Amino acid sequence: MSREPSPLLTLDAVGKVYVNDEIETHALRDVYLSIDPGEFVAIAGPSGSGKTTLLSLLGLLDVPSAGTYRFGGEDVARLSATARARVRNLDVGFVFQSFNLIADLTVFENVELPLVYRGVDPRTRRARVREVLERVDLGNRTDHLPTQLSGGQQQRVAVARAIVGAPRVLLADEPTGNLDSANSTAVMELLRELHRGGSTVCIVTHERQLTRWAGRIIRLLDGRIVAEDATEAA
């Protein structure tokens, strides 16, 4: 009998409270969520619903105020900041709405940077960067600066940078928010291709048309999960 895979990411009764000038803001309340290896999940909801806070917790950019977060079975919320940074560097790839490319580095250098931080040897770095740039159809743009690229091309560079280290999960925060419809479709097709290749993908979006690319939609409202829906893509 085949065994069901263990969840890659598990949130158990997670809450997140921000305190500012003695005012408490409950960004997340009592969140239960599991994401399996190889899933494509969309986190949807209106502005202020807690989507970005949830993604920050999943990506170990922040820690819960309550509850437990397990990444690959490990309770990562209790790790030191240094240990969380190590997990983040090795196991998480991020794609942001604003691309976050370094303007004075070439396409090649932007994608190479995560491997430099890891201490990967130069020969292996160069081979891996060339491989992922070909995968996102930018092999002929290696020496260009970000300002010499279209918005869609810049986002593909950001995706290449996110996957160059073969992370266990790819997290994308409004990855098409700054793109026109044609480039939005191209980026989502790329994410779907990565998912079909075995990647675990989780996107945050407020655009309903983007959720159709995912296999499961997590709907947030006022910091709580209010629904989970399978899609036709599932």
pLDDT at 4: 60
Angle at 195 between CA 61 and CA 83, to 5 degrees: 25
Stated pTM of the model: 0.90
pLDDT at 209: 82
Q: Residue-wise over 189-202: b if at least 16 C-beta within 10 A, else e?
A: ebbbebbeeebbbb
DSSP 102-165: -TTS-HHHHHHHHHHHHT--HHHHHHHHHHHHHHTT-TT-TT--GGGS-HHHHHHHHHHHHHTT
* Count of Cβ atoms closer than 10 Å to residue 5 Cβ: 10
Residues whose CB is less than 8 angstroms from the CB of residue 68 and which lie 6 or more positions away in sequence, other chains included? 10, 11, 12, 13, 14, 75, 77
Q: Are 59 and 162 a contacting pair, CB within 8 Å?
A: no
What are the residue ranges in the chain where pLDDT is below 50?
A: 1-2
pLDDT at 97: 87
Tell me 220's DSSP state: E
pLDDT at 1: 46
pLDDT at 21: 80
**Cα 97 from Cα 151, distance rounded (Å):** 10
Q: Check if CATH label 3.40.50.300 holds for domain 38-61+89-230.
A: yes
